[in-house]
A = this chain, B = another copy of it.
Amino acid sequence: MKAGIIGISGYTGLELIRLIQQHPHLEVGTVYSSSMNKKTFQAQFPHLQQPIAPLNLTTFNAQQLMKDNDLLFFATPSGISKDLVAPFVENNFPVIDLSGDLRLKNPELYQKWYQKAPAKIDILRKFEYCLPEWHAPTGNFIANPGCFATAASLALMPLVKDQLIEFSSIVIDAKSGLSGAGKKLADTSHFVNVAENMSMYKVNQHQHIPEIIQFMQKYEKEFNTLQFTTSLIPIKRGIFLSLYAKVAQETNENALYESYLKAYQKQPFVRIQKELPQIRQVLTSNFCDIGLRYNPQTHMVTVVSVIDNLVKGAAGQAIQNFNLWADLESNCGLEQIPIFP
């Protein structure tokens, strides 16, 4: 099958190109960039020079895109795909959207957290939020979860679903590498300001907060708020997420582990491990590794989940969703060993 990609100049689009090349049943069809032409693209991304097959850049023509491809990935910044997907939705042409535009069911929440006009309600209704370990696609329109939301929801769900923790006590302290902040030039991404530094940003204001709450509410209605902060650490890729919560009743580490093992035993990409995981063990792969510790003094559980923000947190998960949509094995084309060192 041929996958068109809308938005190839960002890290997510580039990662889609890399991963699709390794997929046995998928190839890159035509691609579109609003900011780059063939020449500027090649100049900025010399890693893609020949003999790697050149990309087939095209204009944004919905009819032509549907003719040239079997499905489309939207790897655009927020605020773009909500409008651009309209003709494809009308034609029931498969779309996997990696932006945040079509994740929140409540348009007011989008308006509030993204500070932008939301998608039209009839488009919003057609899209399914698919964190594939918990909800596989059933139709042609997939909203792919955000990177932090993926690491957070996979860590939270066993505890929330099995009602093992007090929701109001949850604290998530998430850290991300710089690719999570995108390619945009800013003081905060200048090497000199990032190296030998760490900083917190968008405290209590990160747009993945309502996405996580919405997803938890599918299982637990009373999950209404979330203490969630994000920081930048001086690495290129990777998310390290620490989750703390009071347990609902006295327990032990093994019992907590059981909940995770049960939840993910059939999932090829979530690895529950006895040692707390480190970022390096999942880099460039679609794995989410999770470990935990219980503290009987504070009655709190500490859960650590790590992902590669560009793979399990974006392009890899989108392909995982594609696999499920196409009735392939969940891990088809995604089984590469993480890069180490």
Residues of A within 8 A of B (CB): 11, 14, 17-18, 21-22, 43-52, 168-169, 171, 173, 175, 177-179, 183, 185-187, 189-200, 203-204, 225-227, 229, 231, 233-238, 240, 242, 244, 246, 268, 271, 273, 275-285, 289, 293, 295, 297-298, 300, 302, 304, 310, 331, 335-341
Output the nearest chain B residue to A285 by Cβ-Cβ distance. Answer: B47
* A280 CA / B191 CA spacing, docked (Å): 12
A281 and B47 contact, Cβ closer than 8 Å, known pairs A186-B185, A339-B18: yes
Q: Quote the shortest CB–CB distance from A21 to chain B (angstroms).
A: 5
Residues in B neighbouring A298, C-beta threshold 8 A:
168, 204, 225-227
Output the nearest chain B residue to A339 by Cβ-Cβ distance. Answer: B284
On whether the beta carbons of B21 and A278 are closer than 8 Å, the reply is: no
Residues in B neighbouring A11, C-beta threshold 8 A:
192, 341
On whether the beta carbons of A192 and B173 are closer than 8 Å, the reply is: no
* A302 CA / B177 CA spacing, docked (Å): 21
List of 8 A-B pairs having minimum Cβ-Cβ separation, nearest first = A47-B281, A185-B185, A199-B278, A197-B280, A191-B194, A192-B341, A47-B338, A198-B240
On whether the beta carbons of A340 and B14 are closer than 8 Å, the reply is: yes
Partner of A175, one of B177, B198, B281, B304: B198
Output the nearest chain B residue to A287 by Cβ-Cβ distance. Answer: B47
Residues in B neighbouring A231, C-beta threshold 8 A:
240, 242
Residues in B neighbouring A46, C-beta threshold 8 A:
273, 275, 277-278, 281, 289
Partner of A242, one of B173, B279, B331: B173
* A240 CA / B175 CA spacing, docked (Å): 12
Listed A/B pairs (10) with beta-carbon separation below 8 Å: A14-B341, A18-B336, A171-B244, A173-B173, A191-B236, A195-B234, A196-B235, A227-B295, A234-B235, A237-B341
On whether the beta carbons of B337 and A17 are closer than 8 Å, the reply is: yes
* A138 CA / B231 CA spacing, docked (Å): 40
* A177 CA / B321 CA spacing, docked (Å): 36
* A60 CA / B69 CA spacing, docked (Å): 52
Residues in B neighbouring A295, C-beta threshold 8 A:
203-204, 227
On whether the beta carbons of A179 and B229 are closer than 8 Å, the reply is: no
Given contacts A17-B337, A191-B194, A227-B298, 10 further A-B contacts (CB under 8 A): A46-B273, A46-B278, A183-B192, A193-B280, A196-B235, A196-B283, A204-B302, A227-B300, A229-B242, A229-B302
Q: Quote the shortest CB–CB distance from A246 to chain B (angstroms).
A: 8
Q: Tell which of A226, A300, A340 has the most Cβ of chain B within 10 Å.
A: A340
Q: Tell which of A185, A233, A237, A289 has the most Cβ of chain B within 10 Å.
A: A233
On whether the beta carbons of A278 and B339 are closer than 8 Å, the reply is: no
* A233 CA / B271 CA spacing, docked (Å): 23
Q: Quote the shortest CB–CB distance from A301 to chain B (angstroms).
A: 10
